[in-house]
Homo-oligomer: A and B are copies of this chain.
Amino acid sequence: MFRLSEIPIDAAALAHELADAGAGACVTFEGWVRDRNEGRAVRRLGYQAYALLAVAEGERVLAEARAKFAVVDAACVHRVGTLEVGELAVWVGVSAAHRGAAFDACRWIIDEVKRRVPIWKNEHYADGESGWLHPDNK
């Protein structure tokens, strides 16, 4: 299940949904809004998504993870809209019989989501400037 959310993410409820009597391991990743990026003080973030394609591509990432790793279930929720420092921006959870697959799949999913899913981050800096991040800019 891949979802975009305009409201705070309930991580505990999401982890609960991954439960299964055959699952001995659950690994979660939470991406939190940091107070700085590349040396600049960050006040808040704005996330924009092309929702139709973001959900389709996000579901594709999860399906690929299920095929690639021995997992029981996998899910991801990404916030859109304005987020303050400390807020949960993205949550990934994976349950599996054994921990190795859960760690590997969770890490792979967040890497792929960041690489492929059409969601963009606008950083609002303490000095009043802001800017969209388009990572291969560099």
Does A29 lie at the interface of the complex (its beta carbon under 8 Å from any beta carbon of B)? yes
SS class, residues of chain A in contact with chain B: mixed
A74 adjacent to chain B (CB < 8 Å):
no
Task: Please tell me if A67 contacts chain B, counting CB pairs below 8 Å.
Answer: no
Q: Give CA–CA (A99, B115) in the complex, Å.
A: 14
Total copies of the chain: 2
The reply on A132 being an interface residue by CB < 8 A is no
Nearest CB in chain B to that of A30: its residue: B26
Which residues from 1 to 54 on chain A have a C-beta closer than 8 Å to any C-beta of chain B? Answer: 11-12, 15, 19, 21-36
Q: Which one of B12, B22, B85 lies within 8 Å of A12 (CB-CB)?
A: B12
Which of chain B's residues has its CB closest to A88's CB? B26
How many angstroms between the C-alpha atoms of A59 and B102 in the bound complex? 25
